[in-house]
Amino acid sequence: MTMEDFTAARRAMVLNQLRPQGVTNPGVLAAMGTVAREAFVPEAMRAAAYSDRSLVLGGGAPMMPSAELGILLNALDPKAGEKALVIGQGGAYSAAVLEALGLEVTRSDADAPSGRESFDIVLFEGSVASLPDWVAGLLAPGGRVGAAILDKGVARLSVGRGNGGAIGFKSLADAQVPPLPALQARPQFIF
């Protein structure tokens, strides 16, 4: 594909995937319309970079579909100058979109970042069985969390707000978001 093909694919993603899913935040639409998603996937997968599906990158790292990312970012309402943490090996594209929105972004594979930093936004790049306990402690006052949370095998896009060390969530939509391997429930033997 040529640069023009990718530019057309980005435009089509905004018009045919993001807007129909209710993504209306002008900053999110502009950032996702300019950040080159194809630059964040292996060369052999670049033709599928703008398809409306999850991609599994090297090492099993998930990259959520554009529409799902757009829905979460729309609900998180990121503001320039805020601090964001993107969790997941496939989160380079999400981090680049947040940076294009003017946020200061930190990335982590699946562990709590070292230090005592507080974040306005924590975004999970992949579905999780449950949030790690340390997430609530990373949120700045009024901080928000975006994740696809597994509920009986179904991933639900959810946005939560921190309040007094706890997070209250609102479910937005069911989604096809691959699991974040390091944050899945471990099989247990139950008698």
The total number of structural domains that make up the chain: 1
Kindly state whether residue 95 falls inside one of the protein's structural domains: yes
Cα diameter, the chain: 59
Residue 166: strand, helix, or coil: strand
Kindly state whether residue 35 falls inside one of the protein's structural domains: no
Kindly state whether residue 117 falls inside one of the protein's structural domains: yes
Say if residue 74's pLDDT is above 60. yes
In degrees and rounded to multiples of 5, residue 113 shows phi and psi of: -65, 150
How confident is the model at residue 19, as a pLDDT? 96
Kindly state whether residue 31 falls inside one of the protein's structural domains: no
pLDDT category of residue 159 using cuts at 50, 70 and 90: very high
Residues 122 and 160: their CA atoms lie apart, in Å, by 10
154-163, strands of its sheet edge to edge: 104-108, 83-87, 119-128, 139-151, 154-163, 166-175
80-107: per-residue pLDDT in tens?
A: 999 999 998 878 999 999 999 999 999 9
How confident is the model at residue 88, as a pLDDT? 86
In degrees, rounded to 5, the angle at the alpha carbon of residue 133 between the alpha carbons of residues 131 and 138 is 95
pTM: 0.89
Residue type for position 135? V
Kindly state whether residue 190 falls inside one of the protein's structural domains: no
Contact (Cβ atoms closer than 8 angstroms) between residue 63 and residue 51? no
Kindly state whether residue 131 falls inside one of the protein's structural domains: yes
Kindly state whether residue 22 falls inside one of the protein's structural domains: no
Write the CATH number for 81. Answer: 3.40.50.150
Kindly state whether residue 99 falls inside one of the protein's structural domains: yes
Q: What's the rounded mean pLDDT across residues 101-130?
A: 87
Residues 167 and 68: their CA atoms lie apart, in Å, by 21
Note down the domain range covering 136: 53-183
